[in-house]
Amino acid sequence: MSPAGRVARWVRPQIRSLQAYHVPDPGDAIKLDAMENPYRLPAELVGAWLERLRAVPLNRYPDPTARALAGRLRAYLGLGDELGLIFGNGSDELIQIFLLALGGADRVVLAPSPTFVMYRMIALFAGLRYVEVPLRPEDFALDTDAMLAAIEAERPAVVFLAYPNNPTGNRLPREAVERIVEAAPGLVVVDEAYAPFAEDSFMDAVGQWDGLVVMRTFSKQGLAGLRLGYAVGPRAWIEAFEKVRLPYNIDSLTQASAAFALEHSAVFETQAARIRAERARVQAALARLPGVAPFASETNFILFRVPRGLGRAVFDGLWARGVLIKDLSTQAGLEDCLRVTVGRPEENDAFLSALRSALEAAAA
């Protein structure tokens, strides 16, 4: 039988019907599609960082528990001994670990919609049923009563709440999250990928609820290339997840680099502050463009709506003008919506000027 024949015979139908995750090659375009921090490690720190890497013994396996890094991160977060900490190869891998640990044919994952696509994808890979509660179409607010009713009806093993949410950029009210954590029978993951850009956090509340685990990542903060995420929760949860984690999931160079970054956390905090200031400026500029409606954001990106039916044309017009953003306009609930990551001031200016002409061309 041909390879394709064997694939048709053996690869699970749910997987065969998927499209592989497609990321366009940005070439020389201005890259504002993936919530990356536009700033690199400052030149004056590169030497010290390389010195640190020089000492890493690459002939040895990494420390399977990343002890040195964990110590630094615990101090940085002020974690008490009653809490556990687990690292993932990006928070994507942590989502996979949670769902492998809690999966099963009769198990449900519950999340608002639209939200981060990997919750749904990994639920599918791990064989859990994925249930969505739609956000209000006009402002992406959560219908808390509908969410509580879904918890009652579905008894989900896992609830994911991106806090703030991707791709909408807004944050649920804290009180809504508290009510959901009170009501949920299993695990509630509060995903704080955008913590450096947000005005609230549940990190200090971990331990107050039996089901609450808070997840974060180094990616959006300036180290997307490292692939490092972490989750904090009651020890019993983290010990269960540790059983599923592959022993050497965090390589030695990542462990050393992340520890170095934590020693210089002020650098990353300054970069995040600069991005938040730029976010306000871009948001105001978008609001002044005729026919453009930006949504509120506590992240490093802005979701905005363009005139009806023009989403794809405006995205293509930006791409033709050398600016890559994210087209969400074909997703249910996100009609006419595009998402731009906040970049450096000159990148944002180039985006705004390309958007102005792309809008005119699309409307003509």
Using CB under 6 A as the criterion, which residues of the chain lie in contact with ligand PLP when the complex forms?
A: 35, 90-92, 116, 162, 166, 191, 193, 217, 219, 224, 229
Q: Which is nearer to ligand PLP, 102 or 223 (CB)?
A: 223
Q: Which is nearer to ligand PLP, 191 or 347 (CB)?
A: 191
Q: What is the largest CA-CA distance in the chain?
A: 62
- Strand, coil or helix: what is 3? helix
Q: How far is the CB of 133 from ligand PLP (least distance, A)?
A: 16
In DSSP terms, 190 is beta-bridged to 161, 214
Rounded distance between C-alpha atoms, residue 345 and residue 215, angstroms: 30
Q: How far is the CB of 261 from ligand PLP (least distance, A)?
A: 14
Going by C-alpha positions, the residue among 128, 117, 179 that lies closest to residue 156 is 128
Q: How far is the CB of 93 from ligand PLP (least distance, A)?
A: 7
Cβ contacts of 251 within 8 Å, gap of 6 or more: 62
Q: How far is the CB of 299 from ligand PLP (least distance, A)?
A: 8
Q: Which is nearer to ligand PLP, 112 or 211 (CB)?
A: 112
Q: Which is nearer to ligand PLP, 91 or 254 (CB)?
A: 91
Residue whose Cβ sits closest to ligand PLP:
90
Q: How far is the CB of 69 from ligand PLP (least distance, A)?
A: 15
Residues 260-265: contacts with CB under 8 Å, at least 24 apart: 260/48, 260/49, 260/52, 261/218, 261/222, 261/223, 262/69, 262/72, 262/73, 262/76, 263/72, 264/45, 265/76
Rounded distance between C-alpha atoms, residue 238 and residue 42, angstroms: 35
Q: Which is nearer to ligand PLP, 37 or 219 (CB)?
A: 219
Angle (deg, nearest 10), helices 265-288 and 345-363: 30
The DSSP bridge pattern shows strands 293-294 and 30-31 to be: unpaired
